Chain A
């Protein structure tokens, strides 16, 4: 159902993305790119030891990728690297498996409708792939292809 994909929260975050700005004092800056639809984003992460102290992004993309990046930044702020990576795995399960992990995904559950739209899974995961790269490597471009 279209209504499951384009839930109000997703439309809202796509139109008014949170943490949507550059970050001069970021410790990590990584770019993500989805060649299929041309979605591009740059992710800024400020790490304090092992903690994501601050996170922001800029870029242009579809509603799903923009909303996903926006909600991701809200969700992982203040989390440890390990927590963020674990959340990514649970998020990926939510999008791709019939029985999503029971673990609390909070607001991210609004993306469960993406499962019915396999062509859009990459849109929803672009920001997360980029985050994973930011937490493991330094500067590089992440592609979903």
Chain B
């Protein structure tokens, strides 16, 4: 188990919990700064999944035998861990999905199809990830509804006044990200929820980029839906969570039909199961769910308060270091920011920056980060993005800065 010490010291200690970080790439020590794409997995998560396959593997909710009971117990324990992690009022409000993307699609497909019609409006922000744009575009096309885009400023901050002006009697849903994967902006989601609720519109929050970096309390936020991806919070890929208020979920039609989501089936009439199972058709990702539960345990052991404080310090250090580099411009300079250092370097395309950094052992993402509209909005076709997690250190930032030095050397 991880030993918790002071934030500054903790980073190097916790780093040892992540076996993948202990390697060299292209002969250089790996510096993993692509955490907004996916985070690494601690040994504890790997062990939990291994344990399931080695000792408990069985299907859930069906068997009368011991293994099935164990598997079911571990699976449902993970749900309660997530409920507490998000401070949801009830475990039935936690629905397991493949990831935040599926959570958004589930709501678009069920809530959206039922409650949104011709001329109705859905409001999103200009900095959304493609996953919080395209499902609504599909819905709007099908229903002749209208997608409204709330603008942002050059720092990458939502213009709350402009956002509020878009709200009205036709607004049937607001869907915004909590933290921007491309810019790092933290949206004022509590304020967004209050504004939307004044106009009677429910709010979906895409929390994929937030949950590994800050405490989220869905009851305090009073949001109607919240989605997350396990792999962005030290859990496995292929598992995520949709939180929804029970009152809304109960009124929504099922998403997919199949086993486990029904209470009885006859050819004349099928009765759907209760929450949350109504939305969990078929055998779920059991090992992934258990792995996600272990990731929650792991985060809790360290504490999101310390993670947030440490990362804030690291982000400030990284920002200061990068700002000193001539010709480098940070993209996304919101006052409230987490985890992301996105930048462009004068005269060098991000793809070239990424290749050279890779050869220096530094893993970053380059391109439009599945957020093409926001980069177009800010007038850059692509950026290089370094994104941190609590296991990163100032030395990692220094390696990034040295790598950028190498880029400038090559491109003269």
Contacts and interface: CB of A to CB of B under 8 A. Distances in A.
Do the two shown chains form a genuine complex with each other?
A: yes
Interface residues of A, number: 20
Interface string A62-74: 1110100000000
A36 B382 CA distance: 10
Nearest to B349: A62
A36 B367 CA distance: 7
Interface stretch (A47-55, A85-93, A97-105, A116-124): A116-124
A123 B352 CA distance: 10
Given A2-B410, A11-B410, A11-B412, A37 B348 contact: no
A15 interface: yes
Interface string B346-381: 011111100110010000001110001000000001
A17 B359 CA distance: 26
B353 to A, nearest CB: 9
B411 interface: yes
B266 to A, nearest CB: 47
Contact of A63 (B349, B359, B406): B349
Nearest to A37: B351
Interface string B258-278: 000000000000000000000
Interface in B316-341: none
A20 interface: no
Contacts of B382: 37-38
B355 A117 contact: yes
Interface in A23-67: 36-40, 60-64, 66
Interface residues of B, number: 19
B368 A38 contact: yes
A2 B359 contact: yes
Interface string A113-143: 0000101100100000000000000000000
Given A2-B356, A38-B367, A61 B412 contact: no
A37 B367 contact: yes
Contacts of B410: 2, 6, 11
B356 A15 contact: no
Interface string B379-412: 0011000000000000000000000001000111
Contacts of B352: 6, 62-64
A111 to B, nearest CB: 14
A110 interface: no
Contacts of B359: 2
Contacts of A61: 349
Contacts of B411: 6, 11, 15, 63
Interface string A1-16: 0100110000100010
A64 B411 CA distance: 12
A120 B355 contact: yes
- 3 closest Cβ contacts across the A-B interface? A62-B349, A62-B351, A37-B351
12 contacts: A2-B355, A6-B356, A6-B411, A37-B351, A38-B367, A38-B368, A38-B382, A62-B349, A62-B351, A63-B352, A117-B355, A120-B351
Interface of A: 2, 5-6, 11, 15, 36-40, 60-64, 66, 117, 119-120, 123
Interface of B: 347-352, 355-356, 359, 366-368, 372, 381-382, 406, 410-412
